[in-house]
Amino acid sequence: MLDKSIPYIGLYMKRPAGTPVAAYPLADGYSFALYNDGDEASWARIETSVLEFDSEFAALMYFKEKFLPDLGELRKRCLFIETGEGRKVATATAWWHFINGERRPWLHWVSVDPEHQGLGLGRALTAKVTELMIELDGDADFFLHTQTWSHRAINIYISNGYQPTGEKALYKDSQSNCKKAMKLLKARGLVKT
């Protein structure tokens, strides 16, 4: 879940092309599954459970606007972890952004339902979706946006080869935000680098 007890600072992270993909096995009783029609409700529930949205309705509206128009891509790129009973409890998406007119691969919306956190699902999911991105987009530089409120996730991303970056091409304030965010998190002992 988001830790809103600290100041919010957004930052970007980058996994340089050629970085080895970590091997994090999935905990017993869980499996990976790609998006199927109707899974947007599970996505909305998971994202709301980690406080990314104020309501499942808001999360669902976002999903419908941003992802459903590219249904063919969504079916290949939206990954879930589900329990043995088929309940989806974690999600991540191998999506993209356009930077200077070029489509670049981005890791989006990595979230694990709080009831299933602490089992290594986030690390396994990040590794698996990174493998998926290599399969779909080639072994390129991959990016993600996160924030200080997600410091637990930042440690997961670091363990999967993503590092904070201040590349100016990503956003005009990315360099100063990256430095401020990492300074704050290091001072509070919240990140391992």
Cβ-contact 65, 109 below 8 angstroms = no
Would you give the distance in Å from CA 60 to the centre of its chain? 17
Retrieve residue 166's tokens: 């201040």
The domains of the chain, with CATH numbers, are 10-187 (3.40.630.30)
The pair phi, psi for residue 23, each rounded to 5°, is -105, 105
d(CA 78, CA 107): 10
Retrieve residue 36's tokens: 């199927």
CA-to-CA separations, 165 to 13, 18, 133, in angstroms, rounded: 5, 17, 19
Residue 116: the pLDDT is 98
Retrieve residue 90's tokens: 């974690």
pLDDT values of the chain reduced to their tens digit, one per residue, 193 residues: 789 899 999 889 999 999 999 999 999 999 999 999 999 999 999 999 999 999 999 999 999 999 999 999 999 999 999 999 999 999 999 999 888 888 999 999 999 999 999 999 999 999 999 999 999 999 999 999 999 999 999 999 999 999 998 877 666 556 668 888 999 999 999 987 6
Q: What is the DSSP letter of 169?
A: T
- Which runs of E-coded beta strand occur in 28-157? 30-34, 78-83, 88-99, 102-112, 142-147
Residue 97: the pLDDT is 87
d(CA 193, CA 188): 13
Residue 121: the pLDDT is 98
Residue 71: the pLDDT is 96
Q: What is this structure's pTM?
A: 0.93
DSSP lists the bridge partners of residue 88 as 82
